[in-house]
Amino acid sequence: MAQTKIFRDRVVSLEQTQEIGEKNLDLLTEIVLEALPGFERVDFTLEHEADLFCLLFRHPETGLERKVSFTRMFLSDAGRLPAVVDNPAGPVRARVVEIIRGHASRAEIAVTLRQLLTEEEQTEADAIDAEWRKKEEALLAARRAEEERKAREKRRLKQIEEQRRAEKRKRERQAQAEKRAQQPGGRPQQPKGDRRPQQQRPAAAQPGGTPTPSPRAEAGARQAQQPQQTPQGQGGRRRRRRRGRGGSPPQGAPSAPRGDAPQT
């Protein structure tokens, strides 16, 4: 709604500027030609951005161009253009001609309300400007204070959030440690990806100085005690008969003679 009102006021202002300027076009042209002799008016226009009513002039011999602009306040204020309309030979007209003539060397000449202020009006305008600047500085200081307060509040909330996250991570680590401690064996389980091969611990010595053999050593001893099988056949073990000197002959065989007994 506020934007609509601003737009409407802006349109009304432009319409007023153009309406007043076109209504007093001949008077404004006469004032400018009095200040710039030898020039001719070639056109007039309305500058929408600056809200100015402009007259365009060109010198026919030199080709120089001048643009003289009038503000809406100059056109509408009772003590400016309306005063010239009421008294064409009055001091206000002479003052406007003097201003335009003093800037004749410029390509663009602006006629504003402030240029035509009297001493009393100038003093009042300065007081108004000072009051306006004071209010603007107060508003600027309040705006800066509000921005600083918002920045401090933002930093405070950020610190609270970081502290909350740190406490949450701490609680999670404590819960994980308690969970690992409650696993079978009472040993905390190492996280995945960080497992290391466990080295075989030496067997603990039994009371009396004799060390307890490890399971691997017991298995090796049992294997050494088992009899080895012969590679020939699978019919069991073969006994080797020992034949000593002077052993008895087999049954049914004649006994060999002893000593010097003659053989038959």
Instruction: State the pLDDT at residue 195.
Output: 56
Tell me which residue of 17, 19, 42 sits closest to 29, measured CA to CA: 42
pLDDT band for 144, please (50, 70, 90 cuts).
very high
Confirm whether 157 is domain-assigned: no
Please tell me the pTM assigned to this model. 0.46
Confirm whether 42 is domain-assigned: yes
How many angstroms separate the CA atoms of 116 and 78, rounded?
A: 12
Tell me the pLDDT tens digit for each residue of 64-86: 999 999 998 888 888 888 888 88
C-alpha distances (whole Å) from 76 to each of 21, 34, 113 are 10, 22, 10
Backbone angles phi, psi at 232, to 5 degrees: -90, 115
Confirm whether 178 is domain-assigned: no
Confirm whether 45 is domain-assigned: yes
Give the structural domain span for 76: 2-116
Q: Which residues contact 70 (CB under 8 A, 6 or more apart)?
A: 21, 28, 52, 53, 54, 81, 111
Confirm whether 171 is domain-assigned: no
Average pLDDT, the chain: 77
Confirm whether 27 is domain-assigned: yes
Question: Does residue 108 have a pLDDT over 80?
Answer: yes
Confirm whether 56 is domain-assigned: yes
Longest Cα pair distance anywhere in the chain, in angstroms?
196
Instruction: State the pLDDT at residue 89.
Output: 86
Number of domains forming the structure of the chain: 1
Instruction: State the pLDDT at residue 185.
Output: 60
Question: Does residue 206 have a pLDDT over 80?
Answer: no
Instruction: State the pLDDT at residue 68.
Output: 94
Confirm whether 134 is domain-assigned: no
Q: Which residues contact 120 (CB under 8 A, 6 or more apart)?
A: none
Residue corresponding to tokens 């006021």: 9
Question: Does residue 190 have a pLDDT over 60?
Answer: no
How would you label 72-84 residue by residue, b for 16+ Cβ within 10 Å and e otherwise? bebbbeeebbebb
pLDDT band for 121, please (50, 70, 90 cuts).
confident
Instruction: State the pLDDT at residue 125.
Output: 80
Backbone angles phi, psi at 249, to 5 degrees: -70, 170
* More confidently predicted of 147 and 196: 147
